[in-house]
């Protein structure tokens, strides 16, 4: 199973916060591809700049030096995100849905809003 971490799932993983046991096992599986979107790095930076999130260090460093594969935002991703039905108004989350769909990734999240989209979800 190839995984795309929602931003909160990434932050919880990095902080060692409690997560669903199945999600934790799948993320830590050395044979799994675990992907982090540029959208999540962007979202963290925006929330830090607004004073809504305190995060130690550089998210880029955590992704590049962790066991995560970075996922850039492509033109195809942007077009797909723009065409999604408006079930979710958060543009970062809409991008994650589009990327999960385009790249055949399972989205690791606790957000029930993703259930309205045609995307495989793993609850964390």
CA dihedral in degrees (63, 65, 69, 74; nearest 10)? 60
pLDDT of residue 5: 98
Task: State the DSSP string of 30-60.
Answer: TTS-EEEEHHHHHHHHHHHHTTS----S-HH
Compute the distance between CA of residue 86 and CA of residue 93 in angstroms, rounded to an integer.
11
The pairing of beta strand 3-5 with beta strand 106-109: parallel
Chain segment 57-78, per-residue pLDDT in tens: 899 999 988 889 999 999 999 9
> How many C-alpha atoms does 52 have within 13 Å on its Cβ side?
6
Query: In terms of CATH, what superfamily is 3-123?
Result: 5'-nuclease (3.40.50.1010)
Q: Which of 90, 84, 89, 86 is nearest to 119 (CA)?
A: 84
Chain segment 12-52, per-residue pLDDT in tens: 999 999 999 999 999 999 999 999 999 999 999 999 999 99
Residue whose token pair is 């919880």: 12
Residue 15 in 3-state DSSP? helix
81 confidence band (pLDDT: 50, 70, 90): very high
pLDDT of residue 89: 86
Q: Give kind and range of the element (H or E) at residue 77.
A: helix 75-83
């Amino acid at each position: 199973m190839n995984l795309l971490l929602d931003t909160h799932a990434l932050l919880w993983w990095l902080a060692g916060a409690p997560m669903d046991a199945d999600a934790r096992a799948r993320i830590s599986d050395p044979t799994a591809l675990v992907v982090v979107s540029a959208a999540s790095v962007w979202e963290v930076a925006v929330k830090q700049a607004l004073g809504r999130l305190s995060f130690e260090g550089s998210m880029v460093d955590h992704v590049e030096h962790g066991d995560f594969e970075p996922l850039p935002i492509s033109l195809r991703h942007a077009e797909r995100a723009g065409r999604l039905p408006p079930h979710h108004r958060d543009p970062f989350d809409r991008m994650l849905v589009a990327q999960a769909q385009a790249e055949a990734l399972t989205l690791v999240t606790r957000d029930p809003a993703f259930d309205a989209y045609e995307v495989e979800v793993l609850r964390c």
